[in-house]
Amino acid sequence: MEEVLQKPNINTTPIELMPDFRFAQSVDCVIFGYDGGEIKVLLIESDLPAYKGQWSLLGDVLHPDEDLDHASYRVLQERTGLSNMFLEQVKTFSAVNRHPAGRVITTAYLALVNVKDYQLQRQEHSLHWHSVSEITTMAFDHKLILDTCLLALKKKIQEEPIIFNLLDKKFSLRQLQQVFEAVLGIEFDRRNFRKKLFTTGMLKDEHEMETDVHHRPGKLYSFNPAAYEKIKGNSFVGLQF
Amino acid sequence: MEEVLQKPNINTTPIELMPDFRFAQSVDCVIFGYDGGEIKVLLIESDLPAYKGQWSLLGDVLHPDEDLDHASYRVLQERTGLSNMFLEQVKTFSAVNRHPAGRVITTAYLALVNVKDYQLQRQEHSLHWHSVSEITTMAFDHKLILDTCLLALKKKIQEEPIIFNLLDKKFSLRQLQQVFEAVLGIEFDRRNFRKKLFTTGMLKDEHEMETDVHHRPGKLYSFNPAAYEKIKGNSFVGLQF
């Protein structure tokens, strides 16, 4: 079979000579949440002897009858009880020695959840939220996958209104700024931040005030998807470099 | 084995019970070039009976001893003779019925080459450049992959200075603007475009003029990577939505 596998091009190889189907495929979900001023990630303790005691991402192998999007959604639903969360493919990791069992190719997904929603629904006691900034090592190549997805998140919250997935439906501008700052690791000028956000037209005034806060209660807003749909078509955003 | 495969989580499955290694993995390269005012893509005629006469991307199955980046680079080098081109993973496609031979998961790579370089080096007569705008159907899910990579290209040329990969080392501002316009499908105001590009500091004056052109010869410039390295760290580019 080695001979067949070395054929240079899948396009010119007849079906009956298709190379071995010898890879395992998995998904790994990087589930981010925001809590206590920090970005957190939901992890499970690895049960693989090679990684005993280390933390790993939530994942599973691809089933024969599903695609990768389906598998990642299934993992999230089965393990967190949540559905309808933000979930998007980020990158596929394929280092030859990334898994002790053999060639397991894994596709990383970025998921954003409201920590409160998860806490209400969880039945799973082996899962824990970890501050992203405190994680140094993980099982497999999961630290690399985490870092890659964190970078993707930093980029993406500047391009699309996905950050609202980390907040309650109604939020104050102070909370919104804090989440942006926690993800990006930088501080914004309060006034410029608010001006910029209002300019987008995506914030809907809920005509309510915060309650149970230790500071002066702020007005509550919600995300207005219809306003975003209007500006979404402006695909050329100018040269960013 | 079906029982084992249905185990919910790879992390809690001992190595000896790892699910079947039953998937094939491939790479497909979307090789873009710029020629005659148009964005083109390098395609090969499919030899699979199911797709006889249709065009497909350049691809190959993953070898047991290489990762996906390596495989895509190998495909490009073997089939075009080019090396050192811009090459980047875009997305993995995994629809259950995407390949007639079974579960072949494919990872798409975006490659940018200078058509002239390719023409000098090619030995392969089965490969042809096609105008992206004229392609309606392709073998497998390759039209979907092409569309996905074209969208990624449109986004990416606004974020990173990768467009220079489509041009000669020395180019005029007219040529640079034409490539941007061809990729994005929009027209720029000449003066604003130049102002914007000069502001980046990335254009190096070569103190030469175009030759053999039918219009007034323009000054030639080259891309200055050092200037880009300086501004690259400014990761927060402002909210784009």
pLDDT tens, per residue, chain A with 241 residues: 333 333 334 444 444 445 568 899 999 999 999 999 999 999 999 888 889 889 999 999 999 999 999 999 999 999 888 888 999 999 999 999 999 888 999 999 999 999 998 877 766 668 899 999 999 999 999 999 999 999 999 999 988 899 999 999 999 999 999 999 999 999 999 999 999 888 888 899 999 999 988 889 999 999 998 888 877 755 555 566 5
Domain stops at, among B156, B184, B212? B156
Residue A20 has a pLDDT of 62
Q: Do both B24 and B136 map to the same domain? A: yes
Instruction: Specify the CATH number for the domain of residue A49.
Output: 3.90.79.10
Out of B10, B22, B61, name the one closest to residue A60 (CB).
B10
| pLDDT, tens digit, 9 for 90 and up, residues B132-161 | 999 999 999 999 999 999 999 999 998 889
> Is the Cβ pair A15, B154 closer than 8 Å?
no
B24–A21: do the CB atoms touch at under 8 Å? yes
Residue B205 belongs to domain spanning: 163-232
Query: pTM score, two decimals?
Result: 0.89
Instruction: Supply A226's token pair.
Output: 């219809």
Residue B52 lies in a domain: yes
* Rg for chain B, CA atoms, rounded: 21
Task: Write down the ipTM of this complex.
Answer: 0.88
The answer on A27 and A106 residing in a single domain is: yes
Domain boundary pick from A156, A176, A207: A156
CB contact under 8 A, B100 and A15: yes
Nearest CA among A159, A146, A196 for reference residue A176: A196
In total, how many domains does chain B have? 2
Which of A47, A89, A107 lies nearest to residue B11, judging by beta carbons? A47
In a domain, A162, yes or no: no
If asked whether residues B15 and B81 sit together in one domain, one would say: yes
- The reply to whether residue B68 touches residue A11, judged by beta carbons under 8 angstroms, is no
The stretches of chain A forming alpha helices (DSSP H) are 2-5, 68-80, 115-121, 142-156, 173-184, 190-199, 225-232
Q: Are residue A217 and residue A171 in the same domain, yes or no?
A: yes
Calculate how close chain B gets to A212, using CA atoms only, in Å: 30
pLDDT in tens, A102-156: 899 999 999 999 999 887 776 666 889 999 999 999 999 999 999 999 999 999 9
Query: From the list B56, B105, B235, which residue is nearest A11 (CB)?
Result: B56
DSSP conformational letter for A97? T
- State the maximum Cα–Cα separation within chain B, in Å, rounded to a whole number: 73
User: Of A156, A180, A208, which closes a domain?
Assistant: A156
User: Pick from B61, B94, B202: which is nearest to A67 by CB?
Assistant: B94
- Digitized pLDDT (tens) for each residue of chain B, 241 residues in all: 333 333 334 444 444 445 568 899 999 999 999 999 999 999 999 888 889 889 999 999 999 999 999 999 999 999 888 888 999 999 999 999 999 888 999 999 999 999 998 877 766 668 899 999 999 999 999 999 999 999 999 999 988 899 999 999 999 999 999 999 999 999 999 999 999 888 888 899 999 999 988 889 999 999 998 888 877 755 555 566 5
CATH code of the domain covering residue B210: 1.10.10.10
**Pair (A197, A98) in one structural domain:** no
Give the C-alpha separation, A241 to B203, whole Å: 12
Look at residue A158 in the predicted model and tell me its pLDDT.
Answer: 87
How many contacts (CB atoms, under 8 Å) link A and B?
A: 203
- Are B64 and A103 in contact (CB < 8 Å)? yes
Q: Are residues A67 and A123 in the same domain?
A: yes
- B72 sits in which H/E element: helix B68-80
